[in-house]
Amino acid sequence: MVQAESALREAQSNYYGALLNVFISKIDLQKSLGLLK
């Protein structure tokens, strides 16, 4: 059970990290296209 809970926490951490990376990538893309100053 402990191993499953640990795996769940790791998966959630990876998920939120990936969401953050998507957000940052979108901003970088908009900057490179000149949409953001």
Statement: residue 37 has pLDDT above 80: no
Name the DSSP letter for residue 14.
H
**Which amino acid would we find at residue 10?**
E
Helices (H), ranges, the chain = 2-32
Which pTM value belongs to this model? 0.70
pLDDT of residue 26: 97
The predicted pLDDT at position 1 comes to: 82
| 4-34 confidence digits (pLDDT tens) | 999 999 999 999 999 999 999 999 999 999 9
**Phi (first) and psi of residue 15, to 5 degrees:** -65, -50
Instruction: Identify the band that residue 36 occupies on the pLDDT scale cut at 50, 70 and 90.
Output: confident
